[in-house]
Structure formats: C-alpha cells, structure tokens
A and B are shown apart, each in its own frame.
Chain A
Amino acid sequence: GAVVSQHPSWVICKSGTSVKIECRSLDFQATTMFWYRQFPKQSLMLMATSNEGSKATYEQGVEKDKFLINHASLTLSTLTVTSAHPEDSSFYICSARDIQGKGYTFGSGTRLTVV
C-alpha cells in the first residue's frame, strides 16, 4: 500500500532556530500534500496545501513566512518552521494525495519541542 515517510519523528530545538520536516511518498507520486498541526487531545488543524511545482495555499491564520512549505517534486514536500518559539511546539503531520486521487496517506508525524 501507499506509504508516506515523515522525518524526523521528533525534534528538540532552541528558540530562534529553524527546523525542517520532510515528507516523502515512497511508492507513489503525490501531486498534493497537506500539512497539519495537532495540539494535545485535539483534532488535526490543516495548515496548508501544497501542489508540486507551485506555491502552497495557507489556511487562514497560518503565517506563511513562519511556516515555509516547499513541494519541489512529486515525492517530497518540506515544512520549515522558521525562528521557532515555544508556542510552535506541537505535533505536525503531513498527508499525501496520489495522482489518481484514490486517497490520502498520512505520515507518522513529527513531535516538535522548542525550548
């Protein structure tokens, strides 16, 4: 079945630094990838939608300059949290939709802790 690899699974960084999270579709081509943020015991909040080769579409209230998304190929999307602060600490999850539009496959998530 479709597999999405997300790395790192957890990361601790100092306040003010940047962190990059990668999301790769391993056995299929993903024209669209989604990035979510999940707070403890809450549902997933869509941050942005990225399409290969074009700029990401951000949801209302999400700072595009803080959460940089790149979708340079059909198998890789990255989320960079720039100048991270403790309030950015959260669980980030990516999801990929295949070219055939058959479904959404989720990565295993990244636990970001900013200290």
Chain B
Amino acid sequence: AQSVTQLGSHVSVSEGALVLLRCNYSSSVPPYLFWYVQYPNQGLQLLLKYTSAATLVKGINGFEAEFKKSETSFHLTKPSAHMSDAAEYFCALTTGTASKLTFGTGTRLQVTL
C-alpha cells in the first residue's frame, strides 16, 4: 500500500524567510508526486509535480521540490516566503496513469510579518 506523510501540521515562518514543508512517501513502485495548495473554501491548485524526469522540480509562485529516492522524500521549498503563501499545502502520490491520488494530511503554512 502507498502512503504519504507530511511532518508538521502547522508551520509558521516570517515573511522573507525560507519555507520548508516536509513530505515523505511510501510506495512499492516508482511514484508520481504532487504538491497542491488550498486557500480557504477553494479547491486545490497544482504547485508542481514529479513524474520521473528531473529530480528537482520547479513549480509556480517560486516553489520547488526535490525528489530523493534514498530518503523517500519530496520536500517543498521556497527561498522567501510571502504573505500570500499562507494556505494549506498537500503532498500527494499516485503510482500510475490510472491510479487515484493518495493525500497527506496537509500542512498549514502561516506567514508572519
């Protein structure tokens, strides 16, 4: 069975500081990994995805994530946080073109002045 673990249900950073949201996965086959952002009362917006090409994936709004097979991780980073980054972030995994997404429990990012 596959699973996604997001360490830290709540992360708080100062504006301009580094953002690091952690995601670890478990899968018996090569995974496809995604990061989504959700603003209150809205659906999910794709930030970036890993589909077995380059291990360092760049996404929208300055976010990027690195796939590390040895660590089974796919952490999300952004060099400088902005107030507009405050939202809920979900890491998700699927294992094939016909598979459903498995979500982590989410991390709420708070950005303070």
Real binding pair: yes
Cα A42 to Cα B49 with chains together (Å): 22
Q: How many residues of A contact B (CB 8 A)?
A: 22
User: How far does the Cβ of A29 sit from chain B's closest Cβ, in whole Å?
Assistant: 15
Interface size class of B (residues with CB under 8 A): 10 to 19
Q: Do residues A43 and B103 form an inter-chain contact, with CB atoms below 8 A?
A: yes
Q: Do residues B43 and A43 form an inter-chain contact, with CB atoms below 8 A?
A: no
Q: Do residues A95 and B101 form an inter-chain contact, with CB atoms below 8 A?
A: yes
Q: Do residues A34 and B43 form an inter-chain contact, with CB atoms below 8 A?
A: no
Q: Do residues A43 and B104 form an inter-chain contact, with CB atoms below 8 A?
A: yes
A109 touching B43 in the complex, CB below 8 Å, given contacts A42-B106, A44-B90, A104-B34 = yes
Q: Do residues B100 and A34 form an inter-chain contact, with CB atoms below 8 A?
A: yes
Which of the residues B43, B104, B108 comes within 8 Å of A106, measured between beta carbons?
A: B43
Cα A7 to Cα B66 with chains together (Å): 35
From 26 to 46 in chain A, residues with beta carbon under 8 angstroms from any chain B beta carbon are 32, 34, 41-44, 46
B27 at the interface (CB under 8 A from A): no
Which of the residues B42, B100, B106 comes within 8 Å of A109, measured between beta carbons?
A: B42
User: How far does the Cβ of B93 sit from chain A's closest Cβ, in whole Å?
Assistant: 12
From 15 to 62 in chain B, residues with beta carbon under 8 angstroms from any chain A beta carbon are 34, 36, 41-46, 49
B105 at the interface (CB under 8 A from A): yes
Beyond contacts A106-B36, A106-B43, A108-B43: 20 other A-B pairs, Cβ-Cβ < 8 A, are A4-B43, A6-B43, A34-B100, A41-B108, A42-B106, A43-B103, A43-B104, A43-B105, A44-B44, A44-B90, A46-B100, A49-B100, A91-B41, A95-B44, A101-B98, A104-B46, A105-B46, A107-B43, A108-B42, A109-B41
- Residue contacts A-B, CB under 8 angstroms, 22 given: A32-B98, A34-B100, A42-B106, A43-B103, A44-B90, A46-B100, A91-B41, A93-B43, A95-B101, A101-B98, A103-B46, A104-B46, A104-B101, A105-B46, A106-B36, A106-B43, A106-B44, A106-B45, A108-B42, A108-B43, A109-B41, A109-B43
